[in-house]
Amino acid sequence: MSATSSTIVNLPDQKTARLPKRSYLNNEDGLLSWLLTGDHKRIAIMYLISITFFFFIGGAFAGLIRLELLTPQPDLVASDTYNKFFSMHGIIMVFLFLVPSVPATLGNFLIPIMIGAKDLAFPKVNLLSWYLYWLGGLFTLAALVLGGVDTGWTFTTPLSTHYLNTHVVTAAVGIFIIGFSSIFTGLNFIVTIHRMRAPGMTWFRMPLFIWSNYAASLLMVLGTPVLAITLVLVALERTIGIGVFDPTKGGDPLLFQHLFWFYSHPAVYIMILPGMGVISEVISTFSRKRVFGYTAVAFSSVAIALFGFFVWAHHMFIMGVSNYSALVFSLLTMLVAVPSAIKIFNWAFTLQKGSITFETPMLYAFGFMGLFTIGGMTGVFLGALGMDIHLTETYFIVAHFHFVMVGGMLMAFLSGIHFWWPKMTGRMYPESLSKLAAVTTFIGFNLTFLPQFILGYLGMPRRYHAYPPEFQVLNVLSTAGATVLGVGYMLPLLYLGWSLRYGAIAGNNPWQATGLEWQIQSPPLTENFIEVPIVDHEAYDYEWLAHKTEQEVTTVG
């Protein structure tokens, strides 16, 4: 490895390299060995396949939405069909893709390995949560096949309870079940992180990926049940008419909003926090430096989780919450933005005095930082009370949360998938093609969603099937961007599939990263570690790694 090369990738000699004879992938054969497995890595792979499946279903709906919005007239589909498009897009993307995306795939795969454990604390519960995910997914698909749901993913009462004739209860049952899948995942992570750490793996030696997943897990465990009970009440209201959310019977429709957003606001942190964990790992690895201000980044995750429970009513500023309450929630919203700012700057300063290379995961991470900054700052627009009045319920808010969820979370997810792909499969993805995909995604994303900010300020309401013609130019831009974005997302599916067979053999540690997961073989053994590791160094200790490599060379070589 010459000092002037522009990459840190260090692959074994491809002529002699072989995948390990025994790994979690070939430890047992047959479909049943997968469907009944307790191995967190296999479950992670099953999750990866499942969420990819749902991602492309949700993505197809996104495509249809953008296609309809190409022209101002309601010409592609009827309005109730359009309403089903965005409802199914939201439900599938939020509950079946974003919430489980990083935790259930990368988290499942990596959390035990990163802390030096053989598996999650409750492997059977882990498998159960995958089955619950699918059961819930099947309910959602059933609602889709039977004719779809047109409540929007927010199930606003009394619309969802009294005024729609679609399969609301089926979808609610689906989400209820998926909620328990998410609860069990979170529960498993918390117990694992508390109880299963290897000797020497103290809290402040844990990789930041663990910290952020831990914070997200807390939110999953404490927030999701409130959504569950809310959906139960919605289903009861719809089937029996219990009146709790029905203004004609004395119920308060705003109560639904409170209970729904008590989960659904923390849910956005469930979505973004694990992504932030990925970014910490990637930035550190590709700048060969310990994350700047490790403690601050770790605590900011916990702070986001904690504050995350106290800001939900900012979704209801114009919905009739009391103005005093709006003040309090707006103030707290401003406070919750601070930890995110801390993270962004700490990542930026991690680059300082590093030795930076630009592999695909790093490109995605750069994309994340830029887009998340925009997403976060536009969140401040919406947190400022008076501005929120004009901006809420318009395309501004659509653009804002897509910047956070897609520009942030999905970028982080793709970054993580590329980063740990060699570990998960033992093979490298094709570098130049994946860089192309990263750039395509970034361009496509901005083209899709930047115009929507302008549309939002112009006042174009969200969930509109038809719109005034003067908004068309920006909508056409957005649709064009969505096409590019679609290509950007199809590419990884193709080349990652290709790499499963033809990718270069990665070896144990292609990035020369410090995490415990990189010190074992790729793909790992079922039991992860042959011997229980004892941790005697901080996370991201590149000197330790260099020292260790040196020793290996002298003793082995």
Partner 1 sequence: MHISPVLWQFLVKWLNASALFPREASTIAPYADALYFFLLLITVVGLSVVGALIFGFAIRYRKEKHPVAVQVEGSTLLEATWTIIPLALFLICFVWGALLYFRIYNPPTNAMNIYVVGKQWMWKAEHQGGQHEINALHVPVGRPVQLTMISQDVFHSFSVPDFRIKREVIPGRYSTVWFQATTPGTYHLFCTQYCGTNHSQMIGEVTAMTPDDFQKWLQASTSGMSLAQNGERLFASMGCNACHTGTAGSRGPNLAGVYGSKLQLTNGSEVLVNDAYLRDAILNPSEHVTAGYSPIMPTYQGQVSEDGLIDLVEYIKGLNSNYRIQQTLVTSQSDQTAPTTPAGVKP
Partner 2 sequence: MIVDTHPHTHETAHAEEHAHVALPQHRHHFETQEQQREAGTFGMWLFLLTEIMFFGGLFFSYLLYRNWYYDAFVVASNQLSVPLGGANTAILITSGFCMALGVWAAEVRKKGLLVLTLILTMLFGIAFIGVKADEYHEKWEKHHIPGDHFDVSEFVNPHAYGLKEEPLPPDQAAHTQIFFSLYFAMTGLHALHMIIGLGILVWLTIRAQRGDFTAGYVAPIENFALYWHFVDIVWLFLFPLLYLINRHPV
Partner 3 sequence: MTEQHDASNVTNPEHAAHHIVTPVTYTIVFVTLLIFTGLTVLAAYIDMGILNPVVALAIATIKAVIVILFFMHVKYQSNLIKMTVGAGFFTFAALITMTLSDYISRAWGLW
Site for partner 2 in 367-386 (CB under 8 A): none
Count, residues near partner 2 per rule CB under 8 A: 57
Return the structure tokens found at 238. 């719809």
Residue 321 makes contact with partner 3 by CB under 8 A: yes
* CB 190, min distance to partner 2, A: 6
Half-sphere exposure of 15 (CA within 13 A, CB side): 0
| Footprint on residues 257-296 left by partner 2 (CB under 8 A) | 259, 262
**Cα torsion at 167, 260, 324, 314 (round to 10°)?**
-90
CB 434 within 8 A of CB 421: no
Q: Which stretch binds partner 1 (CB under 8 A): 177-185, 221-229, 364-372, 440-448?
A: 364-372
Residue 520 makes contact with partner 2 by CB under 8 A: yes
Out of partner 2, partner 1, partner 3, none, what residue 314 binds, judged by CB under 5 to 8 A for its kind, is none
Angle at CA of residue 258, ends 302 and 225, nearest 5°: 60
* CB 150, min distance to partner 1, A: 7
Q: Which of 267, 313, 398, 406 binds partner 3 (CB under 8 A)?
A: 313
d(CA 212, CA 193) in angstroms, rounded, equals 11
* CB 296, min distance to partner 1, A: 5
| Residue appearing with tokens 């060379």 | 553
Length of the chain: 557
| Residue appearing with tokens 């089955």 | 131
Helix (H) or strand (E) holding 268: helix 253-286
Q: Which of 56, 122, 299, 310 binds partner 3 (CB under 8 A)?
A: 310
d(CA 88, CA 508) in angstroms, rounded, equals 41
Return the structure tokens found at 394. 């318009």
Return the bridge partners of 528, or none.
525
d(CA 379, CA 400) in angstroms, rounded, equals 7
* CB 309, min distance to partner 3, A: 5
Q: Which is nearer to partner 3, 202 or 549 (CB)?
A: 202
Return the structure tokens found at 433. 């093609």
Residues 6+ away with beta carbon under 8 Å from 285: 361, 419, 511, 512, 513, 514
Backbone angles phi, psi at 461, to 5 degrees: -70, 150
Residue 123 makes contact with partner 2 by CB under 8 A: yes
CB 88 within 8 A of CB 58: yes
Q: Which is nearer to partner 1, 53 or 204 (CB)?
A: 204
Return the bridge partners of 394, or none.
461
Residue 334 makes contact with partner 3 by CB under 8 A: no
Between the CA of residue 62 and those of 167, 314, 477, what are the distances in Å?
A: 20, 26, 15
CA-closest candidate to residue 376, choices 352, 343, 411:
343
Out of partner 2, partner 3, partner 1, none, what residue 202 binds, judged by CB under 5 to 8 A for its kind, is partner 3
Q: Which of 75, 470, 536, 550 binds partner 1 (CB under 8 A)?
A: 470
Q: Which of 196, 377, 450, 466 binds partner 3 (CB under 8 A)?
A: 196
| Footprint on residues 232-261 left by partner 2 (CB under 8 A) | 232-233, 236, 240-244, 249-252, 255, 259
Burial class (CB in 10 A: 0-12, 13-18, 19+), 222: middle
Provide the mask over 164-193, with x wherever binding to partner 3 is found by CB under 8 A and - wherever it is not.
------------------------------
Residue 302 makes contact with partner 1 by CB under 8 A: no
| Footprint on residues 478-537 left by partner 1 (CB under 8 A) | none
Helix (H, G, I), strand (E, B) or coil at 294: helix
* CB 366, min distance to partner 1, A: 6
Out of partner 1, partner 3, partner 2, none, what residue 242 binds, judged by CB under 5 to 8 A for its kind, is partner 2
d(CA 369, CA 99) in angstroms, rounded, equals 20
Q: Which of 7, 26, 73, 202 binds partner 3 (CB under 8 A)?
A: 202
Out of partner 1, partner 2, partner 3, none, what residue 444 binds, judged by CB under 5 to 8 A for its kind, is none
CB 460 within 8 A of CB 395: yes
Out of partner 3, partner 2, partner 1, none, what residue 177 binds, judged by CB under 5 to 8 A for its kind, is none
Q: Which is nearer to partner 2, 243 or 293 (CB)?
A: 243
Residue 5 makes contact with partner 3 by CB under 8 A: no
Residue 194 makes contact with partner 2 by CB under 8 A: yes
Q: Which of 59, 223, 416, 488 binds partner 2 (CB under 8 A)?
A: 223
| Footprint on residues 28-67 left by partner 1 (CB under 8 A) | none
Return the structure tokens found at 199. 């000797």
| Footprint on residues 250-269 left by partner 3 (CB under 8 A) | 254, 258, 262
d(CA 57, CA 245) in angstroms, rounded, equals 32
| Residue appearing with tokens 């959504």 | 227
Name the residues that contact partner 2, by CB under 8 A: 112, 117-123, 125, 183, 187-188, 190-191, 194-196, 199, 221-226, 228-230, 232-233, 236, 240-244, 249-252, 255, 259, 262, 508, 516, 519-521, 527, 529-536, 548
Name the residues that contact partner 3, by CB under 8 A: 194-202, 218, 222, 226, 254, 258, 262, 309-310, 312-313, 321-325, 328-329, 534
